[in-house]
């Protein structure tokens, strides 16, 4: 029963994020690096919004595109962390994707994956452009690429 309630609550959160605007411009990285691009990751922050008087959510979207690498890229969503204005690093409380089953997602050659991550956040930060950083890692055919993407003043 609790699982059905949790899934219903997640569905409400995901539907409520449809059509929202980014809090900051997207940041793009060539993968595995600028000297040998084979695709990219785009990192977006939609900021913090209050889902209720007690629940705040930071929404981060990762769009990973493997253009020409024959080795499927991988991202482990359990390794992605966010830090919101000194609140400490945390893992996503929920993850939604357009293909695959988290936490381990694969991006074959010529394909793209969109990964939406939702992190718990103080409701007091809702509606303001809260600064945050997101640490992510993508395993390519040339090895892992790990970066920290910062939004706002840090």
70: left (phi over 0), alpha (psi -120 to 50) or beta: alpha
User: For residue range 92-142, what is the model confidence (pLDDT) as tens digits?
Assistant: 999 999 989 999 999 999 999 999 999 998 888 887 667 899 999 999 999
CA distances (Å), origin 39, targets 30, 35, 64, 92:
6, 12, 8, 25
Look up the CATH number of the domain holding residue 68: 2.60.40.1470
Question: pTM to 2 decimals?
Answer: 0.84
112: left (phi over 0), alpha (psi -120 to 50) or beta: beta
The answer as to whether 3 is a domain residue is no
C-alpha closest to that of 75 among 126, 40, 119: 40
DSSP state of 153: -
The answer as to whether 9 is a domain residue is no
User: For residue range 52-96, what is the model confidence (pLDDT) as tens digits?
Assistant: 888 889 999 999 999 999 999 999 999 999 998 778 899 999 999
Q: Give the chain's domain count.
A: 1
Residue 79, Cβ neighbours under 10 Å: how many? 14
The answer as to whether 11 is a domain residue is no
């Amino acid at each position: 029963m609790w699982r059905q309630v949790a899934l219903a609550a997640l569905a409400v959160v995901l539907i409520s994020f449809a059509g929202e605007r980014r809090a900051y411009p997207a940041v793009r990285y060539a993968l595995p690096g600028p000297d040998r691009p084979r695709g990219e990751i785009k990192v977006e922050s939609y900021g913090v919004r209050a889902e209720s008087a007690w629940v705040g959510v930071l929404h981060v979207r990762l769009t990973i595109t493997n253009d020409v690498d024959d080795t499927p890229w991988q991202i482990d969503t359990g390794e992605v962390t966010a830090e919101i204005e000194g609140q400490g690093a945390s893992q996503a409380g929920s993850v939604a994707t357009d293909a695959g089953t988290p936490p381990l997602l694969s991006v074959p050659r010529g394909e793209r994956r969109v990964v939406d991550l939702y992190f718990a956040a103080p409701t007091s930060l809702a509606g303001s452009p809260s600064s945050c950083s997101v640490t992510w890692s993508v395993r390519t055919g040339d090895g892992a690429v790990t970066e920290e993407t910062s939004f706002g003043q840090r």
